């Protein structure tokens, strides 16, 4: 456990609490809460005393059925005898389940750089070795050649996230198909995280490699309600896995969790009744903040490099300074009342990078935070 990095969000949260009035562009959550249909389902939950007891390890029937319909309609994934759906306590648990199910201690899991920090932490907690591969730094796109060179006899999985956390990059269908083919050819699993599938902008589109013909035997797709339905604290995610992994995943989940929180599962059924349109309506406000950020970045072109970010609600910005990323984060909080996340926690160690999250606040507050960030960077990083 000493080799596992400390979670950065609580560390930055402590700094924010020590400086009241700070606006946080740090944590990656949506500014809105669940739809009213989720609350309505809670009455149904409390109406039956049996709902206070343990339920199936892989989730209650109504939620699994609703998720199966969503997967078929939106992701092109059909569940059949060769695939299983498991409801989890959030997307992070789904990832931990996947790593423990496919890898032994000492096995390798390939993570493109920059990685999502909880993925890297989970690999180390499992006693496995994270293997980092570079991406195209101009746009943080996947490099198939780098992934292929990194595969060894100990490799058990290649992980992709699209839309990406922390970069906001959206991987094209062709790139994800190529990774999926490579994994099939080399006998490793393709673990694909789709937590931000509803958050794409401009002409970018989301693609699920789980829909690829023949992908079912080696592809694990991870999904979450946390972002799309404002469900962060309710802890509901899911995973689509090859049938041959089901017994392993069930053992892990029964030991750690017994069953996903049943009250949250009822609420999730209601959220899925509201459907994707609920997220789409709120995404309009998030796009407004995104446009403000992009506009204000124009004044920082001499200080920062802002790669394209057509998805999620992040920018992963390289700052032209000799300051360390955490030093810059601390000064922005202390001196300018705005918080971001240091890129070091995502594996960006060779330069000063910050992750800016623009989805967590009401638009007016977020835009004020963006203004503080721009003024702070201009004041701190002087050329």
Q: Are 219 and 190 in contact (CB under 8 A)?
A: yes
Per-residue pLDDT, 350: 92
Residue with tokens 């035997």: 217
The two three-digit tokens of residue 82, written as one number: 């060769």
d(CA 312, CA 357): 9
* Residue 188 contacts residue 181 (beta carbons within 8 Å): no
pLDDT for the residue 218: 98
pLDDT at 59: 98
Could you report the per-residue pLDDT of 66-114, keeping only the tens digit for each? Answer: 999 999 999 999 998 899 999 999 999 999 999 999 999 999 999 999 9
10-residue stretch averages of pLDDT, the chain, 383 residues long? 90 94 93 96 96 98 98 95 96 98 98 97 98 94 98 98 98 98 98 98 96 96 97 98 98 98 98 97 94 91 93 96 96 97 95 95 90 94 75
The Cα–Cα gap between 280 and 261 comes to 26
Topology annotation, domain 36-274: 3.40.640
Q: What is the pLDDT of residue 137?
A: 81
Domain extent listing, the chain: 8-33+277-380, 36-274
| pLDDT at 355 (0 to 100) | 97
Per-residue model confidence (pLDDT) at position 81: 85
Decide: 154 and 108 in contact? Cβ < 8 Å: yes
- Give the pLDDT score at 383: 57
Specify the CATH class of 8-33+277-380 in words: alpha beta
Token pair in block for residue 302: 């001499």
pLDDT of residue 204: 96
Q: What is the pLDDT of residue 382?
A: 76
* Per-residue CA distances from 367 to 23, 77, 186, 295, 328 (Å): 10, 38, 47, 11, 20
Closest CA to 192 of 259, 142, 253, 139: 142
CA distance between the termini of the chain: 41
Contact residues for 313 (Cβ-Cβ < 8 A; gap 6+): 28, 30, 168, 196, 199, 286, 290, 357, 358, 359, 360
Cα 178 to Cα 79, 174, 175, 224: the distances in Å are 23, 6, 5, 24
- Is there a contact between 198 and 283 (Cβ–Cβ < 8 Å)? yes
pTM exceeding the 0.75 threshold for the entire prediction: yes
DSSP bridge partners of 304: 319
Contact 314, 209 (CB under 8 A): no
Find out whether 337 and 350 touch, Cβ atoms under 8 Å.
no
Tokens of 8: 């950065």
pLDDT value, residue 9? 87
């Amino acid at each position: 456990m000493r080799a596992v990095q400390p979670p950065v969000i609580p560390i930055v949260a402590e700094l924010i609490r020590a400086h009241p009035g700070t606006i946080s562009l740090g944590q990656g959550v949506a500014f809105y809460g669940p739809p009213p249909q989720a609350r309505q389902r809670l009455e149904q939950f409390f109406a039956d005393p049996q709902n206070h007891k343990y339920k199936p390890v892989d989730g209650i029937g109504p939620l699994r059925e609703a998720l199966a319909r969503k997967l078929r309609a939106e992701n092109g994934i059909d569940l059949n005898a060769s695939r299983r759906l498991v409801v989890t306590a959030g997307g992070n648990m789904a990832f931990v389940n996947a790593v423990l199910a496919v890898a032994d201690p000492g096995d390798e899991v390939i993570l493109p750089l920059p990685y999502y920090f909880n993925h890297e932490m989970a690999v180390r907690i499992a006693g496995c070795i994270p293997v980092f591969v570079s991406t195209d730094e101009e746009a943080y796109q996947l490099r198939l050649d780098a992934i292929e060179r990194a595969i060894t006899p100990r490799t058990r999985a290649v992980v992709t996230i699209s839309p990406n956390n922390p970069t906001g990059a959206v991987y094209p269908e062709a790139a994800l198909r190529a990774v999926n083919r490579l994994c099939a050819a080399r006998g490793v699993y393709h673990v694909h995280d789709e937590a931000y599938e509803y958050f794409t902008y401009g002409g970018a589109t989301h693609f699920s490699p789980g829909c690829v013909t023949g992908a079912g035997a080696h592809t694990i797709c991870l999904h979450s309600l946390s972002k799309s339905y404002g469900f962060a604290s309710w802890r509901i995610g899911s995973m689509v896995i090859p049938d041959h992994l089901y017994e392993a995943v069930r053992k892990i989940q029964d030991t750690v969790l017994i069953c996903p929180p049943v009250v949250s599962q009822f609420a999730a059924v209601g959220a899925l009744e509201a459907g994707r349109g609920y997220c789409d309506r709120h995404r309009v406000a998030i796009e407004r903040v995104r446009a403000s950020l992009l506009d204000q970045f124009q004044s920082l072109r001499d200080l920062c490099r802002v790669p394209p970010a057509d998805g999620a609600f992040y920018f992963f910005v390289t700052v032209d300074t000799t300051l360390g990323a955490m030093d810059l984060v601390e000064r922005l909080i202390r001196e300018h009342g705005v918080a971001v996340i240091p890129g070091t926690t995502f594996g960006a160690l060779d330069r000063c990078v910050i992750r800016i999250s623009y989805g967590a606040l009401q638009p007016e507050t977020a835009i004020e935070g963006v203004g503080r960030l721009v003024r702070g960077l201009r004041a701190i990083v002087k050329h």
